[in-house]
């Protein structure tokens, strides 16, 4: 653990340098004001002698032991959302719009999860077929995002009735910043959840442990965030697993998408065979994205992930060179590989209710329906998402959304796609806000009230 607090004098001295820049900004060109610092404005820093550190030790038995320390509290909030992918962003925005204080934690330096950092830019799973008619099941905040992308340069393409559009990762990153700051959500980026915080008292009715926050790992060491309700949208159960929630751990395909540029400048020879690995179009002219399935392995094992990163980048380079060496395609270049590896499924809660394929295809109705899941290509009916599938069976005050909701393996491909993550995230955010406002645990929220508020935020419930 590291020193995380500076002396008052040091803080004021540091702020003084920043205030000087602000005060003199009027004389600077506008494009340099944000980060312009003169040499004589630099702070000298603070000398720490190392006595503040509390490192792990190795005992005489060869075991590594972490010392017991009191963690600094970095924030206290109503709703804590951990993981700012499609589900987490929708959850945070939905809760904040209902007037509760929301804190959002994300391990990367951007929002959007695999939709942005993983370059999973194809939006499929939001259309359904009812009475031989196509209906868009994903409404609410997810639809609002797509509409706003429509109004932005190169934000989204193929946004037509019945089609699966493709968004641009960078535009979507910016849009999420806009929507999250508009909602006045407190954010901690570059922060990895490393533990759950449990109350010292169990729930009086169920006897289950009660989650009251999470520990995040930062450059200043581990820090605590306390919350009345926690939503785990990490995809890997970074909160519900250390909290003791029953879950299954699954293996699934792990790939690494990438983008190619200059495809609008290719001049293929007449009759020449089209190369493989060209991918699909994006909103940016001449740029395609190429998906990768990858092998089915353990997506939370660091050795596996490290090996796959190396192997996938070699494979991408091989595929790119196959394209570039095709006559007429010599101007194509490798524009970007996803900075975030494409883990699709890892840990799934054992929920109060579990989604099954049989019930989905038979149109099973749930009394606690909080969303409608769509079909990849809109070729079958929608399936109801019960609130119970968002709740761990044996832990209180934590909700999950996105790919980790309770469902059998056959449901994984439906649950994990981006529009359905938007839907379950939206429901989780509204439910958490209701729990805070009514001062009840997540398990005891009023489902009619949650459904009413979801409808008021333009969600589709069938």
Provide the pLDDT for residue 272: 83
Assigned token pair, 119: 């370059």
Question: Which pLDDT does position 18 carry in this prediction?
Answer: 39
Within 233-332, strands assigned E span: 247-249, 252-255, 258-261, 280-281, 288-290, 296-297
Is 209 in contact with 240 (CB distance < 8 Å)? no
pLDDT at 17: 39
For residue 101, the Cα-to-chain-centroid distance in whole angstroms is 19
Which helix (H) or strand (E) is 9 found in, with range? Answer: helix 8-24
Nearest-angstrom CA–CA distance, 400 and 82: 10
pLDDT value of position 261: 98
Q: Vertex 317, ends 315 and 320: CA angle to 5°? A: 110
| Per-residue confidence (pLDDT) for residue 269, from 0 to 100 | 84
Determine the pLDDT at residue 41: 59
pLDDT of residue 6: 38
Q: What DSSP character marks residue 327?
A: T
Instruction: Name the E strands within 83-175.
Output: 102-105, 127-130, 133-136, 156-157, 166-167
pTM (predicted TM-score): 0.90
CA pair distance 396, 202, nearest whole angstrom: 9
Report residue 29 as tokens.
């060109």
What pLDDT shows up at residue 10? 41
What is the Cα–Cα distance from 169 to 155, expressed in whole angstroms? 8
pLDDT confidence of residue 402: 98
Residue 37 has what pLDDT?
55
What is the C-alpha radius of gyration for the chain, rounded to an integer number of angstroms?
24
Contact 43, 64 (CB under 8 A): no
**Alpha-carbon distance 409 to 389, whole Å?**
14
What are all long-range contacts of 267-276, with beta carbons under 8 Å and residues at least 24 apart?
267/328, 268/326, 268/327, 268/328, 268/329, 269/327, 269/328, 272/326, 272/327, 272/328, 273/326, 275/322, 275/323, 275/326, 275/329, 276/319, 276/322, 276/323
Inter-CA distances, 69 with 5, 50, 221, 390, Å: 15, 16, 11, 33
User: Can you give the pLDDT at residue 40?
Assistant: 62
pLDDT along the chain (462 residues), means of 10: 40 39 41 54 75 88 91 97 98 98 98 98 94 94 98 97 96 98 98 97 95 97 97 98 97 98 93 92 97 96 98 98 95 97 97 97 96 91 97 98 97 96 98 98 98 98 94
Q: Tokens standing for 300? A: 């939370």
- Tell me the two tokens of residue 100: 């509760």
DSSP strand E in 235-380: where?
247-249, 252-255, 258-261, 280-281, 288-290, 296-297, 333-337, 342-343, 347-349, 369-373
Q: With H, G, I as helix, E, B as strand and everything else as coil, classify residue 5.
A: coil
Cα–Cα dist 397/435, whole Å? 9
Q: Report whether 80 contacts 105 (CB < 8 A).
A: yes
Tokens at residue 434, please? 């209701």
């Amino acid at each position: 653990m590291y020193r995380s607090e500076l002396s008052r004098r040091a803080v004021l001295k540091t702020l003084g340098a920043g205030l000087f820049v602000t005060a003199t900004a009027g004389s600077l060109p506008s494009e340099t004001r944000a980060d312009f610092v003169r040499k004589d404005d630099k702070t000298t820093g603070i000398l720490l002698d190392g006595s503040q550190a509390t490192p792990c030790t190795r005992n005489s038995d060869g075991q590594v032991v972490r010392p017991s320390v009191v963690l600094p509290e970095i924030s206290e909030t109503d709703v804590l959302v951990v993981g700012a992918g499609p589900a987490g962003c929708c959850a945070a925005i939905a809760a904040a719009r209902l007037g509760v204080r929301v804190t959002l934690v994300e391990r990367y330096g951007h929002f959007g999860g695999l939709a942005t950092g993983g370059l999973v830019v194809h939006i499929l799973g939001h259309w359904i077929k009812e009475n031989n008619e196509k209906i868009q099941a994903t409404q609410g905040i997810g639809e609002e995002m797509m509409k706003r992308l429509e109004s932005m340069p190169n934000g989204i393409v193929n946004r037509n009735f019945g089609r699966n559009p493709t968004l641009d990762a960078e535009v979507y990153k910016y849009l999420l910043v806009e929507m999250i700051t508009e909602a006045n959500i407190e954010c901690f980026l570059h922060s990895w959840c490393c533990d759950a915080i449990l109350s010292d008292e169990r729930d009086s009715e169920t006897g289950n442990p009660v989650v009251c926050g999470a520990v995040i790992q930062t450059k200043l060491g581990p820090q605590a965030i306390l919350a009345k309700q926690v939503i785990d949208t990490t995809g890997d159960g970074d909160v519900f697993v250390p909290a003791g929630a029953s879950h299954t751990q699954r293996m699934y395909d792990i790939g690494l998408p990438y983008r190619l540029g200059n495809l609008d400048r290719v001049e293929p020879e007449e009759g020449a065979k089209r190369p493989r690995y060209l991918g699909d179009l994006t909103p940016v002219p001449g740029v395609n994205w190429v998906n990768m399935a990858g092998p089915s392995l353990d997506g939370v094992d660091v050795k596996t992930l490290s090996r796959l990163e190396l192997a996938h980048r070699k494979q991408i380079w091989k595929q790119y060179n196959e394209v570039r060496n095709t006559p007429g395609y010599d101007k194509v270049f490798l524009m970007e590989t996803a900075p975030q590896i494409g883990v699709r499924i890892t840990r799934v809660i054992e929920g109060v209710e579990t989604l099954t394929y049989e019930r989905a295809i038979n149109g099973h109705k749930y009394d606690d329906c909080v969303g409608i899941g769509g079909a990849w290509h809109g070729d079958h009916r929608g399936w109801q998402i019960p609130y119970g599938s968002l709740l761990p069976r044996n832990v209180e005050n934590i909700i999950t959304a996105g790919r980790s909701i309770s469902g059998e393996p056959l449901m994984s491909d439906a649950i994990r796609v981006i529009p359905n993550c938007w839907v379950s995230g939206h429901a989780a955010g509204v439910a958490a806000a209701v729990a805070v406002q009514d001062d009840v645990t997540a398990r005891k929220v009023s489902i009619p009230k949650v459904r009413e508020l979801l409808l008021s935020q333009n969600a589709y419930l069938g």
